[in-house]
A = this chain, B = another copy of it.
Amino acid sequence: MLDKPKDAVLDREFKVVGSRPVRPDGVDKVTGRAKFGADVSAPGMLIGKVLRSPHPHARIHSIDIHAALAVPGVKAIVTRDDFAENKKHKDVLCNIMARDKALYEGHAVAAIAATTGAIARKALKLIKIDYDILPHVTDVDEAMADDAPILHDTMITRGVDPAPEKPSNVAQRFDFGHGDVEDGFAKADVIIERSFKTEAAHQGYIEPHACLASVTEDGHGELWCCTQGHYAVRDVCASLLGMEVSKLRVTASEIGGGFGGKTTVFLEPLALMMSRKTGRPIKMVMDRDEVFRASGPTASTSSWVKVGATKDGKITAASAEFRYQGGAFKGSPVQFGAMCAFACYALENVKTVGFDVVTNRPKQAAYRAPGAPMAAFAVESVIEELAIKLGIDPVEFRLKNAAAEGDTSSYGPKFPRIGLVETLEAAKAHEHYSAPLGPNQGRGIGSGYWFNFGGATSVSLNVHPDGTVALVVGTPDIGGSRASMNLMAAEELGIPYDKVNTIVADTASLGFNETSHGSRVTFASGLATIEAARNAKNECCARAAMIWEIEPDAVTWEDGCAKPAGANAGNFEPMTLADIAKIAEKTGGPISGHFEKNPAGAGASFATHMVDVEVDPDTGRVEILRFTVIQDAGKAIHPSYVEGQFQGGAVQGVGWALNEEYIYGADGKMQNPGFLDYRIPVCSDLPMIDTVIVEVPNPGHPYGVRGVGETGIVPPMAAIANAISAAAGVRMTELPMSPPKVLKAIDDANGSA
Interface string of A453-476 (1 = CB under 8 A from B): 000111010111110111010000
Q: Which of these binds chain B: A324-332, A592-600, A640-648, A662-670?
A: A592-600
Query: Does A511 contact B592, Cβ atoms closer than 8 Å?
Result: yes
Interface centre among A22, A458, A509, A588 (most CB of B within 10 A): A509
Chain B residues with CB under 8 Å of A505's CB are 509
User: Residue A15 at the B interface, CB < 8 A?
Assistant: no
Interchain nearest-CB distance for A679 vs B (Å)? 33
Interchain nearest-CB distance for A414 vs B (Å)? 22
Indicate which residue in B22, B465, B499, B596 contacts A592 across the interface (CB closer than 8 Å): B596
Query: Does B28 contact A216, Cβ atoms closer than 8 Å?
Result: yes
User: Residue A246 at the B interface, CB < 8 A?
Assistant: yes
Chain B residues with CB under 8 Å of A586's CB are 598
Query: Does A249 contact B503, Cβ atoms closer than 8 Å?
Result: yes
User: Residue A130 at the B interface, CB < 8 A?
Assistant: no
User: Residue A135 at the B interface, CB < 8 A?
Assistant: no
Query: In the complex, A465 Cα to B249 Cα: how many Å?
Result: 14
User: Residue A631 at the B interface, CB < 8 A?
Assistant: no
Query: In the complex, A270 Cα to B225 Cα: how many Å?
Result: 32
Query: Does B245 contact A464, Cβ atoms closer than 8 Å?
Result: yes
User: Residue A674 at the B interface, CB < 8 A?
Assistant: no
Interchain nearest-CB distance for A249 vs B (Å)? 7
Chain B residues with CB under 8 Å of A509's CB are 460, 470, 472, 503, 505-506, 509-510
Query: Does A591 contact B511, Cβ atoms closer than 8 Å?
Result: yes
Query: Does A465 contact B503, Cβ atoms closer than 8 Å?
Result: no
User: Residue A85 at the B interface, CB < 8 A?
Assistant: no
Interface string of A1-43 (1 = CB under 8 A from B): 0000000000000000000001010111001010000010001
Indicate which residue in B31, B214, B465, B472 contacts A235 across the interface (CB closer than 8 Å): B465
| CB closest chain-B residue, reference A524 | B589
| 8 A Cβ contacts from A471-527 to B | 472, 499-501, 503, 505-513
| CB closest chain-B residue, reference A43 | B39
Interface centre among A22, A247, A464, A589 (most CB of B within 10 A): A589
User: Residue A288 at the B interface, CB < 8 A?
Assistant: no
Chain B residues with CB under 8 Å of A591's CB are 511, 596
| 8 A Cβ contacts from A243-261 to B | 244-247, 249
Query: Does B594 contact A589, Cβ atoms closer than 8 Å?
Result: no
Interface string of A564-590 (1 = CB under 8 A from B): 000000000000000000001110111
Query: In the complex, A588 Cα to B512 Cα: how many Å?
Result: 12
Query: In the complex, A596 Cα to B542 Cα: how many Å?
Result: 14
User: Residue A158 at the B interface, CB < 8 A?
Assistant: no
User: Residue A601 at the B interface, CB < 8 A?
Assistant: no
Query: Does A458 contact B592, Cβ atoms closer than 8 Å?
Result: yes
Chain A interface residue number, banded: 35 or more
Query: In the complex, A466 Cα to B503 Cα: how many Å?
Result: 25
Indicate which residue in B216, B238, B457, B463 contacts A590 across the interface (CB closer than 8 Å): B457
| CB closest chain-B residue, reference A597 | B589
| CB closest chain-B residue, reference A528 | B589
Indicate which residue in B246, B472, B588 contacts A468 across the interface (CB closer than 8 Å): B246
Interchain nearest-CB distance for A504 vs B (Å)? 10
| CB closest chain-B residue, reference A216 | B27
**Given A24-B220, A27-B216, A43-B39, residue A246 in contact with residue B469 (CB < 8 A):** yes
Query: Does B457 contact A460, Cβ atoms closer than 8 Å?
Result: no
Interchain nearest-CB distance for A309 vs B (Å)? 42
Query: Does B466 contact A512, Cβ atoms closer than 8 Å?
Result: no
Query: In the complex, A294 Cα to B596 Cα: how many Å?
Result: 47
Chain B residues with CB under 8 Å of A244's CB are 464, 466, 468, 499
Chain B residues with CB under 8 Å of A506's CB are 509
Query: In the complex, A279 Cα to B33 Cα: how many Å?
Result: 10
| CB closest chain-B residue, reference A468 | B246
Chain B residues with CB under 8 Å of A247's CB are 468, 501
User: Residue A218 at the B interface, CB < 8 A?
Assistant: yes
Query: Does A458 contact B590, Cβ atoms closer than 8 Å?
Result: yes
Indicate which residue in B26, B589, B590, B598 contacts A585 across the interface (CB closer than 8 Å): B598
User: Residue A100 at the B interface, CB < 8 A?
Assistant: no
Query: Does A456 contact B249, Cβ atoms closer than 8 Å?
Result: no
Chain B residues with CB under 8 Å of A28's CB are 216, 220
Interchain nearest-CB distance for A31 vs B (Å)? 7
Interchain nearest-CB distance for A460 vs B (Å)? 7
Query: Does A503 contact B508, Cβ atoms closer than 8 Å?
Result: yes
Interchain nearest-CB distance for A20 vs B (Å)? 16
Interchain nearest-CB distance for A341 vs B (Å)? 28
**Given A33-B216, A216-B33, A279-B31, residue A462 in contact with residue B458 (CB < 8 A):** yes
Query: In the complex, A511 Cα to B469 Cα: how many Å?
Result: 10
| 8 A Cβ contacts from A430-469 to B | 456-458, 460, 462-466, 468-469
Query: Does A31 contact B217, Cβ atoms closer than 8 Å?
Result: yes
Interchain nearest-CB distance for A610 vs B (Å)? 37
Query: In the complex, A309 Cα to B476 Cα: how many Å?
Result: 70
Query: In the complex, A508 Cα to B235 Cα: how many Å?
Result: 24
Query: In the complex, A462 Cα to B599 Cα: how many Å?
Result: 18
Chain B residues with CB under 8 Å of A507's CB are 470
**Given A216-B33, A247-B501, residue A464 in contact with residue B512 (CB < 8 A):** yes
Indicate which residue in B22, B246, B584, B594 contacts A464 across the interface (CB closer than 8 Å): B246
Query: In the complex, A31 Cα to B279 Cα: how many Å?
Result: 9
Query: Does B246 contact A500, Cβ atoms closer than 8 Å?
Result: yes
Query: In the complex, A588 Cα to B218 Cα: how many Å?
Result: 34
Query: In the complex, A279 Cα to B463 Cα: how many Å?
Result: 28
The 6 closest A-B CB pairs, nearest first, are: A246-B468, A589-B598, A462-B511, A245-B464, A246-B501, A511-B590
Instruction: Beyond A465-B512, A512-B590, list 5 extra A-B contacts (CB 8 Å).
Output: A31-B279, A246-B466, A246-B469, A460-B510, A470-B509
Report 25 cross-chain contacts, Cβ distance below 8 Å, ordered by A residue: A24-B218, A27-B220, A28-B216, A33-B216, A220-B501, A244-B466, A246-B499, A247-B468, A247-B501, A456-B585, A457-B590, A458-B462, A458-B589, A458-B592, A470-B509, A472-B510, A509-B509, A512-B584, A513-B590, A585-B598, A586-B598, A588-B597, A589-B596, A589-B598, A591-B596
